[in-house]
A and B are shown apart, each in its own frame.
Chain A
Amino acid sequence: MDPLLIARLQFASTTIFHYFFVPVSIGMALTIAIMQTMYVIKGDDRYKRLTQFFGTLFLINFAVGVVTGILQEFQFGMNWSTYSRFVGDVFGPSLAIEGLLAFFLESTFIGVWVFGWNRLSKRLHLASVWLVSIGTIMSAFWILSANSFMQNPVGFEFAGDRAQMNSFGAILTNPHLWAQFPHVLLTSFATGAFLIAGISAWKLIRRHDVDLFKRSFRIAITVGALSAFAILFTGHWQAQYLVKSQPMKMAAAEALWENSGDPAPFTVFADINTEEKKNNFEIQIPYLLSFLSFNQFNGSVEGINELQEQYVEKYGPGDYIPPVTTLFWVFRIMTGAGGVMLLLGFYGMYASRRGKLPKNNLYLKLMPFAMILPFIANTCGWILTEMGRQPFVVFGLMKTEDAVSPSVTANEMLFSLIAFTALYSVLAIVTIYLFARHIKKTDHFDTDLPTASDPFDRKGGAEIVS
């Protein structure tokens, strides 16, 4: 087998898996910090119990996110050493700063938070969960600053055959970073929020502690709906940017083979024929692609075949067309999932504020299934981002096929691919099992016994949490 293919498979599978947990950590940390803030401000014990109930799930998720993250950082050097030599100067600092600024912060204060319930003052303990939340957000910023360099390399010059940083300011103000970071941040908030809302809905259907979980539902659905609404704009903004900076990516995501007319129609459905480089059949909405690309109802969008010629002229002979069918559909699945989240979010916010929620069983029954939507959308979004950049690993500078480690054999890579896939499968099963177990329990809080109201309390809590 081809080592390049195995290395790509491993990077894709481990990264997608890692990214199931990352947005949950970012989103849940924020929502839990909000819950704990309400506890500290209002002095209402119900919010403390919510914080601890969802805190347990957060910690399980966080642990898997952390351990799969170590692999992410090592993998560049292990499987992509040529890439690492080429970009280390520009790409490495983001990772190093991420460690210094974000990882130390979140890992130290998560320990303080878990073990500090009875050892710190309320406010200091609250501060520790906010620091964890801030750590997760900063971590996203720095790793995206690294990814943005791969998408739109800026702030560097060539020194021999290596890229060398010459402007940190340019790295920090990379327009790709500022198109991507808000989008990733908000989708992460939505992911955590929909998870909490879905779990709360499940609890409400079964009438487990309704008074408690209608509160968590309301907080989560508010965060989720507002995030989903804002995502409309960050997504639109990012698409406009990409049409300019990586036109091939967007043309492929539209399966737009030839230059569009003016105004450009949006293709809802297409039967894509990659062999003949055309669509056999398509359903279109007029004007929409012009709006998505340029925020106005006119303007022609360049097609794949035209761009291929331009890229050949610019980067030399080669095939610069990414996998069109995949990109076309992941883009539609991503935006479709986002749209459904938006509707569910706003309906839920409206219903929970009007007090209609406990009665509306159909909606509540839908919400546990809706938990999957952000995961689908996130995964599709990253496939679009990373596959849409192919054949480049660093856009315009280095091709993926030139980036792989020459000293690692196909067999070694196959071994690691199998080993990591097997271990990750076990982790996935155990994580889902532990989540389900914790959610199904009804005895988190026995309100009759005052001593048991605190899950971390000596007598009541030891059994529950240990």
Chain B
Amino acid sequence: MSLSEFWFILITILFVGFFVLEGFDFGVGIVSRFLGKDDQEKRVYINTVGPFWDANEVWLITAGGAMFAAFPHWYATMFSGLYIPLVFMLLALIIRGVSFEFRGKVKDQRWRHTWDWAMFAGSLLPPILWGVVLANFITGMPINQDKEMVGGFLQFLHPFALLGGAMFLFLTITHGLQFITIRTTGDLQERARKLGQRVTPVTIVLFLAFIIIAYFTSDVFTNHGQTFMVLPILAWVALLFANLYNAQKMDFNAFALTTVTIILLTGSIFIGMFPRVMISSISDAFSLTVYNASSGGYTLKLMTYFSIALLPFVLGYQAWSYYIFRKRVKQEDELEY
């Protein structure tokens, strides 16, 4: 395995980590203002991700930094090519981030209402946009011989991409609801389960449609052979079982399985792109690959040392923080913030 291939794997892992962790943050941010009947209940829901969301978002920031360092062309083409979607993503992530902090600072109904909306909108938009981006990863984008994207941003919003946006949105809602079930108790927990029962079937249908269309219209799931189709199918099956476990109140199993779904979905898309990192819809020859988009050997080697030395610590203390705050959030708790 060459170092550029190793870095492709590492960036895949960073994106998987981001989607899994920030996925439930988005889901919680979307549902909390509907599930919580009063201010206190909303706060409980928000606090299920309170200590974690910031560090979860760093997975994206680090993925961006790693792309910049290991695949400058990938970073440059993708970030400039998807300019408008990224502007909206950033606007959303900004208002969502501050709403965690600002919301509780003033005891006023209108104030809280405003920031609840900010958190809702800021959590809603990113998964839709990431779904659109993932769909465009699958279909390919118009990249020319100079590694530059051509055409306006409306071209990214084709029907399959919109399906991708809807699918990913519902997937994060399902995932977020399952996270709530393992972080709360009593009535609040039960409400999340019930909503899960209503939402997850939609997720299941959207997910199935998404992988079927991807199968027939692109080579992403079968790029390395038909057997790789097993990955998205398993992702879908995991989702089915998550729904069943949710019905039986086996919350940890359900959450573990929605996690598996996100890992397998993201993984199968990145594996299917490989060795391309961005597929050109103009010509195969113009696709960016791990070989023609990567940095020099020196940089890759250096970054490899750093990541191997640091990642275990990062994973260790992040896991430790989840362990510290493993106790479920209750209404009677002091809801510091």
Contacts and interface: CB of A to CB of B under 8 A. Distances in A.
Nearest to A412: B83
B216 interface: no
Contact of A97 (B150, B306, B324, B337): B306
Interface string A63-82: 11011111101101111011
Interface residues of B, number: 73
A434 B102 contact: yes
A430 to B, nearest CB: 6
Given A100-B306, A415-B87, A95 B65 contact: yes
Contact of A85 (B54, B57, B60, B72): B72
A15 to B, nearest CB: 14
Contacts of B336: 114-115, 117, 456, 461, 465-466
A336 interface: no
Interface stretch (B159-167, B258-266, B273-281, B311-319): B311-319
B58 A104 contact: yes
Contact of A78 (B79, B107, B325): B79
B295 interface: yes
Interface stretch (A157-165, A235-243, A290-298): A157-165
A97 B112 CA distance: 37
Given A456-B334, A462-B334, A98 B80 contact: no
Contacts of B324: 112, 116, 119-120
Given A77-B78, A84-B72, A407-B148, A89 B307 contact: no
Nearest to B149: A407
Contacts of A111: 50-52, 54-55, 321, 325
Contact of A93 (B78, B81, B302): B302
Interface string A399-424: 00000011110001001100110010
Nearest to A79: B80
A96 B66 contact: yes
A110 to B, nearest CB: 6
A107 interface: yes
Contacts of A82: 76
A152 B94 CA distance: 33
Q: Is the interface of A mostly helix, strand, loop or mixed?
A: helix
B321 A89 contact: no
A99 interface: yes
A350 B210 CA distance: 70
A59 interface: yes
Given A67-B93, A108-B317, A81 B76 contact: yes
B282 interface: no
A103 interface: yes
Interface string B284-303: 00000000000110110011
Contact of B58 (A103, A415, A420, A456): A103
Interface in B100-147: 100-102, 104-107, 146-147
A258 interface: no
Contacts of A407: 80-81, 83, 148-150
Contacts of A439: none
A103 B66 CA distance: 13
Listed residue (A73, A97, A108) with the most chain B CB atoms within 10 angstroms of its CB: A108
Contacts of A98: 65
Given A165-B296, A166-B298, A416-B87, A99 B51 contact: no
Given A88-B72, A162-B72, A405-B76, 16 more contacts: A67-B94, A70-B57, A70-B94, A77-B80, A81-B77, A85-B147, A88-B71, A93-B302, A97-B303, A99-B66, A103-B58, A111-B52, A166-B298, A419-B91, A434-B106, A437-B106
15 contacts: A64-B98, A70-B97, A71-B90, A73-B68, A74-B64, A89-B72, A96-B69, A97-B65, A111-B54, A405-B80, A412-B83, A416-B83, A420-B90, A462-B334, A466-B104
